[in-house]
Amino acid sequence: MRKISCFILCLIMTGLMTGCNEGGGPKSRMTAQTTGIRDVIESQMSKEDALQEPSASEETTSAAPETESQTEQSSESSDGNSVDFDLTNLGPDILYAEVYSMMVFPDQYLGRTIKVAGIFTVYYDEARDKYHFACFVSDAAACCQQGIEFILDGDKAYPSDYPQEGAEITVTGVFGTYEEDGNTYWALTDAVMEGN
């Protein structure tokens, strides 16, 4: 059932895709921006939750109050800093949906500390002779992938200070923007990377 729901969700998201960044705001090197997808994701999640909710006689504890985002929580990273969104304990479908939401609605995440686990990916921009790094996540069916770019804190050199492409990593950083060639891009800035 989850695979069917995931497939349907991926089809809906694909159908909703429109032009890339028509509003002139920050861009992502890893995805095209779309509109309306958060509503679709939340609707699908609500439907799945309704199917899995216990009846009133089965409930023994009260539910915690919902926050603006189901995954928003305060915790501490391994270096003792506060993390606003710890995505490392989410299931694949919810993780993918949250990272996709970050790409589509970046203003809701700006300035927040994000922790995410995924696959290390490298993109080389020949025109600028520059490497860009991302943490890619997949949904449960592995039919959809989404990457979030990150910029490590400090003076790091590729490849000596990075793992092999395809390695599992955990990245913690502040969701922010940077300027390049007159364009604004978003990424996890001041990031710290751990190998899994």
Work out the angle between the directed axes of helices 37-52 and 2-16 (0-180°, nearest 10): 160
Tokens 């290390």 appear where? Answer: 120
Take residue 33 and report the two structure tokens written for it. Answer: 């921006």
How far, in Å, CA of 126 to CA of 133, rounded?
Answer: 14
Q: Give the pLDDT score at 140.
A: 87
Q: What is the mean pLDDT of residues 19-46?
A: 48
pLDDT tens digits, one per residue of 145-193: 989 999 999 999 999 999 999 999 999 999 999 999 899 898 999 999 9
Name the pairing type of β-strands 183-195 and 130-138. unpaired
Please list, in sequence order, all residues whose beta carbon lies within 8 angstroms of the beta carbon of residue 4, skipping any fewer than 6 positions away.
Answer: none
Buried b (16+ CB within 10 A) or exposed e, 151-173: bbeeeeeeeeebeeeeeebbbbb
pLDDT tens digits, one per residue of 67-120: 344 444 445 544 556 999 999 999 999 999 999 899 889 999 999 999 999 999
150 and 171 in contact (C-beta within 8 Å)? yes
**Share above pLDDT 70 across residues of the chain, in percent, rounded to a whole number:** 58
How far, in Å, CA of 24 to CA of 145, rounded?
Answer: 24
Chain centroid, CA 189 distance in Å = 14
173 and 151 in contact (C-beta within 8 Å)? yes
For 97-121, the DSSP string reads HHHHHHHH-GGGTTT-EEEEEEEEE
Q: Where are the domains of the chain?
A: 2-60+71-195
Helix (H, G, I), strand (E, B) or coil at 15: helix
Q: Which of 53-57, 86-90, 126-130 has the lowest mean pLDDT?
A: 53-57
For the domain covering 2-60+71-195, report its CATH number: 2.40.50.140
pLDDT tens digits, one per residue of 57-66: 444 433 333 3
Q: Give the pLDDT score at 50.
A: 61
How far, in Å, CA of 166 to CA of 157, rounded?
Answer: 18
Name the pairing type of β-strands 82-86 and 113-125. parallel
Q: What are phi and psi of 98, to 5 degrees?
A: -70, -45
